[in-house]
Structure 1
Amino acid sequence: MRQVRLWIASTLDGYIARKSGSLDWLYAMENPEKSDYGYQEFYSQIGSVIMGRKTYDEILSYGVDWPYSDSKSYIFSFNENYKVKTANTSIFTGQLTKLIKTLKEEEENDIWLVGGGQLITAFLNDDLIDEMTISLIPILLGEGIPLFPGKPKETQFELIDTKCYDNGVVNLNYRKKTS
């Protein structure tokens, strides 16, 4: 069965972006080995991506080609009139559980929850995340957009893999525990 997988970078103090939404700290990270931290292998298993509107707008602000053009992209927003600017992309304003049920039935590959924090918490509260990969970046921001804002419900995960990189990045892979 297709899985909903969160793959996201977080600071040591639990932030996924600055308050402004900027990821400058992530892109400034030294990477002398030019590692992709397992991203290509992960992305090769993905059929659809889901993200919040703020995350979508932040990615577009970089002025690069849409990096997910080969996947169906769903942008979650409360604004039904929001217009997407990329191919193979739809706005979604409905119930997350219905979207995920449909995607799991139709997709051949996994579903990537890209972010942001509010959407991650909504997915957790609806019991929709099957696996998480959190790439811990060795930096403290002191403030920003938290990885799990608001009040996510208690959910237990089990560690299934770790990968450490020479520059201090650590990928932590978790699977949701089933009762």
Structure 2
Amino acid sequence: MRKIITYIAMSIDGKIADSKGGVKWLDEFTHKDENYGYEEFYKNIDTTIMGNTTYQHIKNMGVEFPYMGKNNYVITKNREKLKEDHIDYISEDVIGTIRSLKNVPSDKDIWLIGGGKINSLLQDNGLIDEMRLFIAPVLLGNGIPLFSPFGKITKFKLISSKQYASGMVEMRYKKLVVS
């Protein structure tokens, strides 16, 4: 079964975007000499999952959609959506659909891009297998949290950590399977 992996940057206080959904605060941690393992990670996924708010932010960045060539799924409550060749929309049976995606035969994993509400939905349903969190040495105060409130406690094990010259720290966690 494929893994669903969260690969995301956040502030020390757990915010993945500012209060308007922006990520400009991450610009100072972007260095052309350091890709934070992104290229290797990207080669090992064939599917992305994100919420509609995250998708709209990506669309409004004024760049070509960065995940072309992948199977891209956008979770939305809005049934009246634009048809786009590179996106499949999920508006019904979200959890069942994502469970089905995990069971699609593939040697590649699934990237849970976010945002916070979608992260919480998948977490609450036991669907996040691994988290790669890149913690920027900044406090945002207000903003969009990595997780919105959820009810299910899940334990993870730290499997690696790495400090980068930019000040970012990567913490890689794997979900513990409780029997």
Aligned to 1:105: 103
Give the alignment's Cα RMSD to 1 decimal: 1.4
- Separation in structure 2 between the aligned mates of residue 88 and residue 30 of structure 1, nearest angstrom: 27
- The match for 1:2 is 2
**What is aligned with 2:13?**
13
TM-score, normalised to structure 2, is: 0.94
- How much has 1:29 moved relative to structure 2? 2.6
Residues paired across the two proteins, number: 177
Q: What amino acid sits opposite 2:78 in the alignment?
A: N
Return the alpha-carbon distance in structure 2 between the equivalents of residues 105 and 148 of structure 1. 25
- Which residue of the partner structure matches residue 136 of structure 1? 135
- Equivalences for residues 6-85 of structure 1 within 5 A: 6-29=6-29, 31=31, 34-85=33-84
Displacement of 1:30: 5.2
Structure 1 residues 121-160: aligned runs within 5 Å: 121-160=120-159
How has the CA–CA distance of structure 1 residues 70 and 158 changed in structure 2, closer, same or farther, with 3 Å as cutoff? Answer: same
**Distance in 2 separating the partners of 1:150 and 1:98:** 21
Say whether the 8 Å CA contact 2:72–2:86 is kept in structure 1.
yes
Q: Is the 8 A contact 1:47 1:107 kept in 2?
A: no
* Contact 1:83 1:91 (C-alpha < 8 Å) held by counterparts: no
Q: Are the structure 2 counterparts of residues 58 and 152 from structure 1 closer, same or farther at C-alpha, using a change threshold of 3 Å?
A: farther
The 1:48–1:107 alpha-carbon spacing in structure 2 relative to 1, beyond 3 Å, is farther
2:11 counterpart letter in structure 1:
T
**How far is 1:142 from its partner?**
1.1
> Residue 122 of structure 1: CA displacement?
0.4
* SS state at 2:89 partner: strand
Q: Which runs of 4+ in 1 moved over 6 A?
A: none
Shift of 1:97: 2.5
In the alignment, residue 72 of structure 1 is paired with which amino acid?
A: N
Per the TM alignment, residue 34 of structure 1 is displaced from its structure 2 partner at its CA by 2.4
How far apart, in 2, do the equivalents of 1:133 and 1:83 lie? 32
Give, in whole Å, the separation in 1 of the partners of 2:83 and 2:28.
Answer: 28
Answer with 105-114 or 8-17: which moved more.
Answer: 105-114
The 1-side partners of 2:30 and 2:7 are apart by 20
1:152 Cα deviation from its structure 2 partner: 4.3
Q: Distance in 1 between matches of 2:61 and 2:121?
A: 26
Provide structure 1 residue ranges, at least 5 long, that are not aligned to the other structure.
Answer: none
Q: Secondary structure of 1:135's match? A: strand
Unaligned segments of structure 2, at least 5 residues: none
